[in-house]
Amino acid sequence: QQQIESFTIENPAQLEQFRIAYVGRKGVIADLFEGLKAVPAEDKRAIGAELNNLKNFAQNKFNDYSASLENQQLNGKVQAPLDLTLPTVPDELGAIHPLTIVRNRIVEIFERIGFNLSEGPEIEDDWHNFTALNFPLNHPARDMQDTFFVEKNPDIALRTHTSSVQVRLMERQKPPIRSLMPGRVYRNEAISARAHCIFHQVEGLYIDTNVGFTDLKQTLYHFVKEMFTKDTRIRFRPSFFPFTEPSAEIDISCQLCKGKGCNICKYSGWVEIGGSGMVDPNVLENCGIDSQTYTGFAFGMGIERITMLAYQIKDLRLFTENDIRFLKQFNPLS
Ligand code: PHE
């Protein structure tokens, strides 16, 4: 006991020596317990009790010192002198993603002329993505090549365009409808500087009595001049979509080369930013809207493309690479 008492423990190494000598299974006390076997039966009880006391004594000393050493270490840390000349850890502020900036700007422009916002699910059924939009049953756009199917029969897929939100809106709301529908869409396409399998569109839908193609044109003229510059030119190119008739592709003068020709506009001076047209009467009827009373227009534009033009970005893969040096460069547009 005296030995145990006089053993000095001032650091973790000494604590460990103490543990090995007295507490551990190969220490002296363990040896003494081993020797108990040879003690005559009548003395075993008394000596056993003594040994137990000794063992507890050693264990308690070990526990006390290990706790106090731990405290010392903690206190040591807290009490380290504070160096007020050290620079602080910089607080990095996040930045708004360029696609978000542009989407917000688009929403702002259309809200000012009376459009509200609508949303729909990214996982869609065949009806909302295709059938209600007047796609014939064997239309090539339903092919495995374009569409990511989640389930076959009944078909459930990742929406290939925001036009599915038009359908959902017309099904639940009677005209007048004037709504903007931004969202993420998916197509099974090879990834390149100009295309991605995940991208964003913003759909617009305007349905009322007496809505004509001139309304569509004027709305998009207004948008393009607000989004870009007053001298931005726009042209409507005849096209086809199953859900609009007539249909037109929307082109604007290339913002990167100002019409001089570059690889983004493929040296034509024009870039396509989306599709548009008068909503096909079949679509109105599919959604429970009387096509004798109401007409409307719709358009769908690519947010990536508009962002590339607004910020002179030449490769849309940058949007999804999460390189902070790229992402933090963008200031809000107004
Ligand atoms: N949904 C079409 C597309 O993704 C775009 C579009 C929307 C065309 C609305 C006409 C009207 O290509």
**Atom number, ligand 1, closest to the C-alpha of residue 300:** 7
Mean pLDDT (the chain, rounded): 91
pLDDT cut 90: percent of the chain above it: 63
Contact 200, 183 (CB under 8 A): yes
**Atom number, ligand 1, closest to the C-alpha of residue 279:** 11
Place of tokens 């959604």: 287
Per the rule left: phi > 0, alpha: psi between -120 and 50, beta: everything else, 267 is left
Compute the distance from residue 248 Cα to the ligand 1 centre, in Å.
Answer: 9
Residue 34 has pLDDT above 70, yes or no: yes
Compute the distance from residue 100 Cα to the ligand 1 centre, in Å.
Answer: 21
pLDDT for residue 76: 64
Q: What element of type H or E holds 32?
A: helix 28-35
Residue 219 corresponds to which tokens in the numbers above? 């709305």
Residue 320 has pLDDT above 70, yes or no: yes
Q: What's the ipTM? A: 0.98
Helix axes 303-311, 98-112, angle to 10 degrees: 100
pLDDT for residue 287: 97
Residue 133 pLDDT class (50, 70, 90 cuts): very high
Compute the distance from residue 327 Cα to the ligand 1 centre, in Å.
Answer: 28
pLDDT for residue 78: 60
Closest CA to 268 of 281, 284, 246, 253: 253
For the segment 39-92, what is each residue's pLDDT rounded down to a tens digit? Answer: 888 888 889 899 999 999 999 999 999 888 888 777 766 666 778 888 888 877
Sheet holding 156-158, edge to edge: 123-125, 156-158, 149-151
Residue nearest to atom 12 of ligand 1 (CA): 275
For the segment 140-155, what is each residue's pLDDT rounded down to a tens digit? Answer: 777 766 899 999 888 8
pTM of the model: 0.73
Give CA separation, 272 vs 194, 249, 256, 299, 300, in Å. 12, 7, 13, 13, 11
